Amino acid sequence: MSADKTKWCNGCQRWLSAREILESPRIIPIGMAFMESGDDEAFYYFLHDVPECGTTFLIAVDSFAPFLTEEVPPDNLHETECCENHCSSVDSLAICSLQCQYAPYRRLLFEMMAAKQRATAPGRDDIQGFLTRVGARTGQPES
């Protein structure tokens, strides 16, 4: 999938880019979890908080791999004996301390949440600082 077409929004009837999802304070990250289907794939959950939409949607976390600022460990520890089960529930907002391939995605989620929260505070615009950090890894110019 191209970088400018990451997710089709059913509410708005338009494509959202990964950069727009990261940048827009109106696209609110809710959490991260595996689907109950048993597939070994984790998803980010978002709320598109605009009056004409209000859709909740999910995106496979690996769609955001270009925005990671750290290496991804090779092992998937989900549902292993050492797993802390943070990715088992979208409501879990704990950082994973393991060397699991999904731990960097949880950290990216929390960076997104913090940057968007700061950006919506009066007089703050930390989304640009966040995008500068993740953009440096992707080599993409800021929009």
Cβ-defined contacts of 74-79 (< 8 Å, 24+) = 74/101, 75/99, 75/100, 75/101, 76/40, 76/100, 76/101, 76/102, 77/101, 77/102, 78/34, 78/40, 78/42, 78/102
pLDDT band at 138 (very low <50, low <70, confident <90, very high): very low
Closest to 32 measured CA to CA, from 80, 72, 91, 82: 91
> What pLDDT, on the 0 to 100 scale, is given for residue 2?
46
Per-residue CA distances from 143 to 28, 43, 78, 131 (Å)? 19, 25, 35, 9
> What pLDDT, on the 0 to 100 scale, is given for residue 131?
52
Consecutive H or E run containing 104: helix 103-120
> What pLDDT, on the 0 to 100 scale, is given for residue 76?
79
Report the percentage of the chain scoring pLDDT > 90.
19
Over range 113-126, report the average pLDDT: 68
Residue 104 has pLDDT above 90, yes or no: yes
Residue with more model confidence, 141 or 76: 76
Query: 37 exposed, middle or buried (CB, 10 Å; 0-12, 13-18, 19+)?
Result: exposed
Domain extents in the chain: 7-136
Over range 29-44, report the average pLDDT: 79
Strand partners, 7: 16
Predicted model pTM: 0.76
pLDDT digit string, tens, across residues 73-93: 988 777 778 777 777 778 888
